[in-house]
């Protein structure tokens, strides 16, 4: 099948889990023999090709249109980006026309709708998150309301909608009043062959980031819904129990300065280290070195970081929310705690750090579940099955519309003989 992915992030430009999801999905589909193109934004740095083929995937990167707009004016930034993405996608039509356009989140909604009309093919949309979900059901600003309505419109324009967890499927169906039959569940995954590291790299990460005490790891965007503030609130109690404990916070985001100020107020000193963004090899070594990986999100549609940590053998302590609670079965593949409860979080981390047998059992069980349920070859095939249903439904709709048009306009000798709605 000829597949066109539209994504605002793709390596080397990755903001979070969406970029890693699209990257691995596209390459898995190409490996299965599909003809895959990704259209994304150019990072604006030298040495990154505008058009290249990587691991079987053709990647077209569009430089952002002028004027240069600060991200603070986000909607204008998105509109400019979408115009930039449409041009290389339309140029493909001279020699290559997709059978389906796969749009990843609202940021590419208008580009997807334009390509649907231009190519006459269905759009399949993956909703990786929702604006209402990020704000615990509220739409607190004009920007949030604008994003929400664009999300609604994308799910309307799409022939089929994909979510990465059952909880997200329920959320999207309810928020956008979709027929349940229109929404498909295709879980996230992790490539176990790719998410691995060496003993030397693991030892080096341990030496770099930890002292003699335990190493706690968070990886993700530094935004409110990711719950890093809850983890920092838990650190004073954890430091009393484990004086040499170290928390490493990997990632960047809008709350970075606020979180560092919070750690300073709590006088955590060297107990907390913020690394910013880390490339996959460095992050993989840190996962492998960690004594526990914590995912304290208050809102988490799928929890890709939990899968990545499990792939490297880090025992999991995660908030009981969204997709996290679907992968982590309490006391089987990890420990769960109530979201936003720093006391319960500290107790769960303490239990893992105090019981090596438990930690090893949780780690092995999580990795077995990854191999069984979250293989990217399986996930890629499931997504292609969704594309096939979308193509069939689009063809059926077009045929039905054509038949109705014929019934409405049957004319002989200038007289309308039949006008059937």
Does 2-189+376-402 carry CATH code 3.40.50.2000?
yes
Dihedrals phi, psi of 18, to nearest 5 degrees: -60, -45
Query: Which residue blocks in 176-279 are alpha helix, DSSP H?
Result: 199-209, 228-241, 256-265
Spatial separation of the C-alpha atoms in residues 258 and 66, rounded to whole Å: 32
- The mean pLDDT of the chain is 91
Nearest to 108 by CA among 253, 10, 1: 10
Residue 134: its pLDDT value, please? Answer: 86
Per domain, the residue ranges of the chain are 2-189+376-402, 199-372
Residue 410: its pLDDT value, please? Answer: 53
2-189+376-402 and 199-372, same CATH topology: yes
Specify the pTM. 0.83
Cα–Cα–Cα angle for 367, 21, 232, nearest 5°? 70
- 329 CB contacts (<8 Å, ≥6 apart)? none
Q: What are the C-alpha distances in Å from 58 to residues 46, 53, 102, 195, 298?
A: 19, 4, 15, 23, 36
Residue 413: its pLDDT value, please? Answer: 47
- Contact 283/250 with Cβ under 8 angstroms? yes
Count CB-CB contacts under 10 A for residue 414.
Answer: 5
Residue 421: its pLDDT value, please? Answer: 43
- Contact 404/21 with Cβ under 8 angstroms? no
Question: Fold for domain 199-372?
Answer: Rossmann fold (3.40.50)
Residue 137: its pLDDT value, please? Answer: 81
Residue 34: its pLDDT value, please? Answer: 98
Residue 420: its pLDDT value, please? Answer: 44
Residue 418: its pLDDT value, please? Answer: 46
Spatial separation of the C-alpha atoms in residues 408 and 50, rounded to whole Å: 48
Query: How many residues in total does the chain contain?
Result: 421
Q: What is the mean pLDDT of each run of 10 residues along the chain (421 residues)?
A: 97 87 95 97 92 97 78 82 95 94 97 95 95 87 93 96 93 95 92 89 92 92 94 97 96 93 94 93 95 94 89 96 89 96 98 96 94 89 96 84 61 48 43
Spatial separation of the C-alpha atoms in residues 415 and 421, rounded to whole Å: 17
What DSSP assignment string belongs to 129-153?
--HHHHTTT---SHHHHHHHHHHHH
Sheet holding 272-276, edge to edge: 272-276, 246-250, 215-219, 292-295, 316-319, 335-337
Residue 68: its pLDDT value, please? Answer: 64
């Amino acid at each position: 099948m000829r597949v066109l992915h539209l994504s605002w992030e793709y390596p080397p430009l990755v903001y979070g889990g969406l970029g890693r999801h699209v990257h691995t999905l596209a390459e898995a589909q190409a490996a299965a023999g599909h003809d895959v193109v990704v259209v994304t934004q150019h990072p604006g740095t030298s040495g990154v090709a505008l058009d290249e083929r990587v691991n079987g995937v053709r990647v077209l990167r569009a430089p952002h249109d002028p004027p240069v707009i600060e991200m603070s004016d986000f909607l204008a930034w998105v509109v400019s980006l979408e115009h930039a993405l449409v041009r290389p996608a339309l140029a493909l039509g001279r020699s290559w026309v997709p059978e389906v356009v796969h749009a990843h989140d609202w940021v590419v909604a208008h580009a997807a709708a334009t390509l649907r009309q231009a190519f006459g093919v269905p759009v399949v949309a993956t909703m990786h998150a929702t604006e209402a979900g990020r704000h615990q059901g509220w739409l607190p600003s004009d920007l949030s309301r604008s994003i929400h309505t664009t999300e609604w419109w994308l799910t309307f324009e799409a022939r089929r909608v994909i979510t990465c967890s059952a909880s997200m499927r329920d959320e999207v169906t309810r928020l956008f009043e979709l027929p349940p039959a229109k929404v498909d569940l295709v879980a996230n995954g992790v490539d176990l062959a790719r998410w691995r590291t060496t003993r030397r790299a693991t030892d080096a990460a341990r030496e770099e980031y930890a002292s003699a005490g335990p190493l706690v790891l968070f990886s993700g965007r530094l935004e409110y819904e990711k719950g890093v503030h809850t983890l920092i609130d838990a650190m004073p109690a954890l430091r009393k129990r484990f004086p040499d404990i170290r928390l490493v916070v990997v990632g960047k985001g809008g709350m970075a300065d606020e979180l560092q100020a919070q750690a300073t107020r709590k006088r955590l000193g060297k107990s907390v280290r913020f690394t910013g963004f880390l490339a996959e090899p460095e992050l993989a070594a840190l996962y492998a070195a960690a004594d526990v990986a914590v995912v304290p999100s208050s809102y988490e549609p799928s929890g890709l970081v939990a899968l990545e940590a499990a792939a490297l053998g880090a025992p999991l302590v995660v908030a009981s929310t969204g997709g996290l609670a679907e992968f982590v079965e309490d006391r089987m593949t990890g420990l769960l705690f109530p979201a936003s409860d720093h006391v319960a979080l500290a107790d769960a981390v303490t239990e893992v750090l105090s019981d090596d047998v438990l930690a090893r059992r949780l780690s092995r069980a999580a990795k077995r579940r990854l191999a069984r349920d979250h293989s990217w070859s399986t996930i890629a095939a499931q997504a292609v099955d969704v594309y096939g249903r979308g193509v069939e439904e689009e063809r059926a709709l077009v045929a039905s519309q054509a038949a109705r048009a014929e019934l409405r306009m049957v004319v002989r000798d200038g007289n309308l003989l039949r006008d059937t709605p």
